[in-house]
């Protein structure tokens, strides 16, 4: 769960999935300095199997490239197994309305199918999960057993990324829904201001 959430966070921070990071060209002219300001989160109203118990990210703003410190506690009352998908709906405030953004190159209002498969591809089976997950005994493959998953403070280096030109500074709202077996399993909302 923490890993999934970390993936969301990266997506929310408009960093794109792990796989595309390496592809970002490092030309001086592509360097952009971005910041994620005033990040907030909440679980959606309702009775969900998966919930965020606590989540803090620092510093504020989070600079990209830069360091991100995160601590998170997630809880699930039910076992999360394949097939699992994540549905993101990203909105941007334009004048007084919230406009739903498209999904372009895996950024925006995207649905990520087969999250369990993505995890299996990203983290070889039979090998220890990457740090800091390994240290805290957080699994990186499905199924995720019912329980509480806690990641105390961990610091990550956010690389420079090239963002699509339509992703401009402003207020963003992201709704994330985890579906397991076509049932809503978890739902959370995130807001932040993207500055450049």
Ligand X SMILES: *[C@@H]1O[C@H](CO)[C@@H](O)[C@H](O)[C@H]1NC(C)=O
Residues of this chain that bind ligand X (CB under 6 A): 42, 44-45, 47, 175, 189
**Block residue for tokens 């500055």:** 195
Nearer to ligand X (CB atom), residue 52 or residue 138: 52
Contact 151, 57 (CB under 8 A): no
| Closer by beta carbon to ligand X, 42 or else 56 | 42
Whose Cβ is closer to ligand X: residue 47's or residue 157's? 47
- What sign has the CA pseudo-torsion 43, 152, 107, 63? positive
Cα(first)–Cα(last) distance of the chain, in Å? 30
Smallest distance, Å, CB 174 to ligand X? Answer: 9
Provide the minimum distance between the beta carbon of 54 and ligand X in the complex, in angstroms, as a whole number: 16
CB of 42 to ligand X, least distance (A): 5
> Alpha carbon of 146 to those of 24, 33, 149: distances in Å?
37, 40, 9
Nearest by Cα to 159 from 8, 6, 25: 25
Q: From the CB of 165, what's the least distance to ligand X, in Å?
A: 25
Nearer to ligand X, 40 or 168 (CB): 40
CA 55 to chain centre: 12
């Amino acid at each position: 769960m923490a890993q999934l959430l970390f993936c969301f966070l990266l997506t929310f921070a408009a960093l794109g999935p792990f796989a595309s990071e390496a592809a970002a060209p490092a030309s001086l002219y592509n360097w952009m300095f971005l910041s994620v300001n005033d990040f907030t989160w909440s679980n959606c109203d309702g009775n969900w199997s998966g919930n965020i118990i606590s989540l803090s990210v620092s510093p504020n703003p989070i600079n990209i490239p830069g360091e991100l410190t995160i601590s998170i506690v997630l809880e699930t009352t039910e076992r999360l197994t394949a097939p699992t998908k994540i549905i993101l709906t990203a909105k941007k405030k334009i004048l007084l309305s919230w406009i739903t953004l498209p999904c372009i190159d895996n950024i925006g209002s995207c649905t990520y199918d087969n999250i369990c498969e993505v995890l299996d591809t990203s983290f070889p089976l039979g090998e220890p999960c990457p740090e800091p997950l390994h240290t805290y005994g957080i699994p990186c493959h499905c199924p995720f057993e019912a329980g509480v998953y806690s990641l105390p403070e961990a610091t990550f280096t956010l690389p420079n990324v090239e963002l699509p030109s339509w992703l401009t500074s402003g207020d963003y709202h992201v709704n994330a829904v985890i579906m397991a077996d076509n049932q809503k399993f978890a739902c959370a909302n995130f807001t932040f201001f993207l500055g450049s």
